[in-house]
A and B are shown apart, each in its own frame.
Chain A
């Protein structure tokens, strides 16, 4: 099974700050997804990236897929309390036709 490591595990910042979350693997993934999970709910898809070097923007969130398709990053500009949640990256494992999830980054944005 391919492994995905996320860092940092926890992040507590003030409203208005910028932050970056990293998702790294030694394996190549054909696509990578980012999900956000709020307390009491299941994860919800934010974005899918499929091409090495691809950058996608979702309002204040910028997602990048590494050139070698082994890593990804999520950058949030001017974080807001509504960004609070658990952020999960997930890579498509072609061998077993299923997603492999990272361990998650818990973000707390203080007003």
Chain B
């Protein structure tokens, strides 16, 4: 079974702190994604990566950056956390670039910024 793990289920940070959210997948997938999920807004794509050291902006990249130094690990960085970044963050991976690829999601990290 594909497993996508996220470093924390719950995280509380203060405004202005630098926040790292880690995601690891164990199935040698090429593609990895970071989404945020807010009530009534579905999943919004923050950043994604189709290869190591490669990244592409999604719909809402402002205030975020990412790092993919190894194929299995994709990190989301909040350079200076703000209260409007309080949200559920979901990481996903998929095997290839086909249109019918399945995305496998981690359990999510609920981040609260005070």
Q: In the complex the two chains form, what is the Cα distance from A43 to B104 in whole Å?
A: 8
Q: Which residue in chain B gives the minimum CB-CB distance to A102? A: B42
Query: With A44-B105, A45-B102, A50-B100 in contact, do A103 and B58 touch (Cβ < 8 Å)?
Result: no
Q: Interface size bucket, A side?
A: 20 to 34
B21-38 CB contact bits vs A (8 Å, 1 = yes)? 000000000000101000
Q: What is the size, in residues, of chain B's interface with A at 8 Å between Cβ atoms? A: 26
Which residues of B are found within 8 Å of A44, using beta-carbon distances?
Answer: 105
Is A42 an interface position by the 8 A CB rule? Answer: yes
Q: In the complex the two chains form, what is the Cα distance from A50 to B97 in whole Å?
A: 15
Is B74 an interface position by the 8 A CB rule? Answer: no
Contacting A43 at CB < 8 Å: which of B99, B100, B105? B105
Least Cβ distance of B34 to chain A in Å?
Answer: 11
Query: With A42-B92, A42-B108, A43-B105 in contact, do A103 and B42 touch (Cβ < 8 Å)?
Result: yes
Q: Give residues of chain A (60-111) contacting chain B, Cβ–Cβ below 8 Å.
A: 88, 90, 92, 94, 96-104
